Amino acid sequence: MRSLSLIAAAAVLAACGGQPSEAQTPPAAGTSLETRPANTNYQPAFPGQTRAPLKSAGIAFDTVTVAEGLQRPWGLAFLADGRMLVTEKGGTLRIVGKDGKLSDPVGGVPAVDAKGQGGLLDVVVGPDGLIYWSFAEPRADGNGTAVARGKLDGNALTDVKVIWRMTPTYNGDKHYGSRLAFSKDGFLFITTGERSDMAGRMQAQKLDAAFGKVIRILPDGAVPKDNPFTSVAGALPTIWSYGHRNIQSAAIHPKTGELWTVEHGPRGGDELNVARRGKDYGWPTINYGNEYSGGPIGEGLTQKAGMEQPLYYWDPVIAPSGMAFYEADLFPAWKGSVFIGGMKDKDLVRLTLEGEKVVGEERLLKDLGQRIRDVRVGPDGAVYVLTDGGSLIKLVPKA
């Protein structure tokens, strides 16, 4: 990561909702993949921070529909026996069989607040074999992101326990964050949003609120002793990093073991970051986007001492969803890539990396015409995507 000590950043377009995108002529190889106009006149802080060149891996693949009929699916996880778990935003968890058949709703899932961007959200299988999921938890005076865990027994969850709750409670329906990722050493990372409204936005910089943060806990919800703010008076000891807007992409780097994230920008400025211990990622003090109404965010700053620069940002936005690093053998040419779901332009974003530098970008699956909500690499090496249209699809080598 680079600290904020350079110039300013570049432009962007569109909201995190995913409006129809303009028709684009494919760029020539080696030129910037993004050719549409920017939303701002900000300049990137360093070369290559935005608008990477088109870099195709030249992979021929087929798309295979694994399952259909899902209702607003959000998160995907693989069970040890090859079956899959899929969350549906309205509050149901389904098991997808190897034959693609959907189970009845899994029992034992707590009630969710499914208004707006809330609902039953991410799901992962922990190293202990338990199921962990995030959801918008309804509360007497509002709601908040929460994480629960339980044991899958047949078609029900047992011994269900909420292990973490976002504080303070907030009466809103946006920016829950909610991606979950287990580190190689067994810690659970939870991403949150800053709830979008101005009152919540300002708490992304405050250490006494879980808004706009990366949270790090033990699998039972306990606080790791080496978290960065455990000895800071008034700070939440669960905070790992702060100054985020709404992180809906998160994955552990297979080689470094660090947590990489992508967060939604406003009208421009979706950010790729490495979420590091105790670091401030700047929102809303610095960013590379504008208000949806068109004006600058705050003072219109893109850098400030003590705040981190994104590794990369998008202009216009991609509206990020799931995220997965590819290290499998099924597609050798994709090794070292990172895949990110794109809701704005309804495509799958593939980044080519050299260390922490983005050196190429490619857009796949545009012909699906569906917003991609989650991306995972299966045990078979195929790339699996969940679509808002209710399909679970996998990418396999062309027959």
d(CA 389, CA 371): 7
What was the pLDDT predicted at 6?
34
Per-residue pLDDT, averaged over 349-371, amounts to 97
Q: How many CA atoms lie within 13 A of 306 on its CB side?
A: 5
202: Cβ contacts below 8 Å, ≥ 6 apart: 284
**Nearest to 10, CA basis, from 49, 57, 64, 61:** 49
pLDDT band at 16; cut points 50, 70, 90: very low
Residue 290 predicted with pLDDT over 80:
yes
Answer yes or no: pTM beyond 0.85: yes
How many other β-carbons are positioned within 10 Å of the β-carbon of residue 377? 23
Instruction: Provide the residue type at 367 as one letter.
Output: D
Q: 51: left (phi > 0), else alpha (psi -120 to 50), else beta?
A: left
Q: What is the pLDDT of residue 379?
A: 97
The predicted pLDDT at position 11 comes to: 32
One-letter amino acid of 355? G
Q: Would the pLDDT of 13 be above 80?
A: no
Span 24-38, mean pLDDT? Answer: 79
Could you read off the pLDDT of 291-301 as tens digits, one per residue?
A: 999 999 999 99
Residue 148 pairs with which residues in a beta bridge?
Answer: 133, 162
Helix (H) or strand (E) holding 201: helix 198-201
**Residues identified as active-site:** 175
The structural domains of the chain, with segments of one domain joined by +, span 2-397
Q: Are 54 and 361 in contact (CB under 8 A)?
A: yes
Per-residue confidence (pLDDT) for residue 30, from 0 to 100: 73
Question: Mean pLDDT throughout 342-351?
Answer: 97
Mean confidence (pLDDT) of the chain: 93
**How many CB atoms are located within 10 Å of the residue 104 CB?**
9
What is residue 26's predicted lDDT score, i.e. its pLDDT? 62
| pLDDT tens-digit series, residues 234-287 | 999 999 999 999 999 999 999 999 999 999 999 999 999 999 999 999 999 999
**What does the pLDDT read at residue 31?**
86
Q: Say yes or no to pLDDT of 366 above 90.
A: yes
Residue 341 has a pLDDT of: 98
Task: Quick: pLDDT tens for 169-186.
Answer: 999 999 999 999 999 999
- pLDDT at res. 27: 73
Is residue 5 over pLDDT 50?
no
- What pLDDT is stored for residue 29 in this prediction? 66
Helix (H, G, I), strand (E, B) or coil at 333: helix
Q: 237 burial class (0-12, 13-18, 19+ CB within 10 angstroms)?
A: middle
High-pLDDT (> 70) share of the chain, %? 93
If pLDDT is split at 50, 70 and 90, which confidence band does 227 have? very high
Class of domain 2-397: mainly beta
Q: How confident is the model at residue 126 (pLDDT cuts 50, 70, 90)?
A: very high
Predicted pLDDT of residue 1: 38
Q: 399 Cβ partners below 8 Å, 6+ apart?
A: 62
Residue 89 pLDDT class (50, 70, 90 cuts): very high
